[in-house]
Amino acid sequence: MKKLVTTLSLIIFINQAGFSWGQIGHRVIGQLAQWHLSRTAEARITQILGPVDLALASTWMDEIRSDSAYDYTNTWHWVTVPPNTTYNPEIQEPTGNAYEATQQIIVALKTGAISQKQEQEYLKILVHLVGDLHQPLHVGTGEDRGGNDVRVRWMYEPDSSNLHRVWDSDMINAKQLSYTELAAHLNRHIDAEVANDARALPAQWLEEAMELRDTVYDLPDSHRIGYQYMYRNWPIVEQQLMLAGLRLAEILNDIYG
């Protein structure tokens, strides 16, 4: 019975989590990374992925949720770090998490001791995971399934949403920009300070997400959120998308450049 409850809870989380960062957010990250690849890395990645750029490859890990052959990746979309703690491998999902999977895949791609098919899949998964780790609610507290249990009324929509979805897609979709338009806008705002911050290691990404969670969870008692919440938090969305894109490019340049 305990095993059944755990399985059902996992299924509910996966179904309600939706597309992390939404397709637009992930593609923005992939596009930014594509623009910041070295020539050598870009050429090598083109050999691996073929006629698919990083923007379109970024959503593959969400698409394979419909394929049971990839069920082992279901728990790789998030990591749990409770407040006032550091990363603890003992409390994570036994099938892995976003933080561990990211580091393992980087090592595997660097060593190169994998098949061509596995390298292609690992590369697409890496593009996605770097994005996931920069959405603050994918570094969960362990209490509300990354904000999925926090019901909110977003803008003037008649149906309720949840905090996770607001951060994954609702705020980004409200801008009504294509992923290329948003990526181009963000690329123009990358300065020396952002580029310097992009040099942080994955362990620091978790610390950054944890520091942002207080702001993310700062909700009115009514849980009705809209323009004011978005005005306060949109700079964080932009920051995290930019950092994810630059950090992904830096990782790929290190592996393939």
**20 pLDDT band (50/70/90 cuts)?**
low
d(CA 72, CA 95) in angstroms, rounded, equals: 7
Whole-model pTM: value is 0.91
Cβ partners under 8 Å of residue 175, min gap 6: 182
Instruction: Give how far Cα 8 sits from Cα of 4, 11, 15, 120, Å.
Output: 6, 5, 11, 31
pLDDT in tens, 27-86: 999 999 999 999 999 999 999 999 999 999 999 999 999 999 999 999 999 999 999 999
Q: What is the CA radius of gyration of the chain?
A: 18
- Which residue do the tokens 């949403």 mark? 161
Q: Are 33 and 45 in contact (CB under 8 A)?
A: no
Name beta bridge partners: 162: 151
CATH number of the domain at 240, please: 1.10.575.10
Query: How many structural domains is the chain composed of?
Result: 1
85 is a domain residue? no
d(CA 251, CA 257) in angstroms, rounded, equals: 9
Full domain range(s) for residue 17: 2-70+96-256
82 is a domain residue? no
